Amino acid sequence: MLIWGFVSFYFQKDIMFGFSWAKPVTRKQNPRIYNIVENLCISQGIQPPKVGIIEDDSLNAFATGRKMDDSRIVFTRGLLNTLNDSEVEAVAGHELTHLLNKDCKLMFVGTVVVGVVSLIGEILARSSSRKDENGKGGALVLIGFALLILGNLIYPVLRLAISRKKEYLADLGYL
């Protein structure tokens, strides 16, 4: 678990980029999207993230990365073909706000916390066969089930609420 946590923390942008089949874009390949993202970053005084495109007809975009200097914004081909420049700029601004607010990092840390809580709950819940000489193993099982419920039922709802709030803040452009 520690190895996977380390790998996913330091390589989450590469993992997301690879799993989504996104291809990096240079200014020569797609000056339109590259210039839109670069202009938004210049207006904020920040280094532009790398830009990628997914060859898909859906209308979607996402941002990933722990820090601005190694972050990425990815757009689908359908979004770029359907929206005009001002609409694409609004989507890029939304994704850029996620990066500036470190939303990706927050969601990653939340996921790791849930993983740890669930793992501890699983270990304690399975400890029913290891009762000590005083017969107190049952309390550990109950604590384990409580942690499993917390990690697998309550936290996902909380994570969705946090995610929704972050989406609204990114829509408003709050930094």
Whether the CB-CB separation of 81 and 120 falls below 8 Å is answered with no
Active site residue 87: no
Sheet containing strand 61-64, strands side by side: 23-25, 50-54, 72-76, 61-64
Q: Among all chains, which residue has been given the structure tokens 């990114």?
A: 170
How, if at all, do strands 61-64 and 23-25 pair? unpaired
Catalytic residue among 95, 122, 133, 167: 95
Q: Among all chains, which residue has been given the structure tokens 């938004």?
A: 40
CA distance 65 to 146: 33
Torsion of CA 155, 161, 162, 165, to 10 degrees: 180
Whether the CB-CB separation of 65 and 52 falls below 8 Å is answered with no
Active site residues: 95
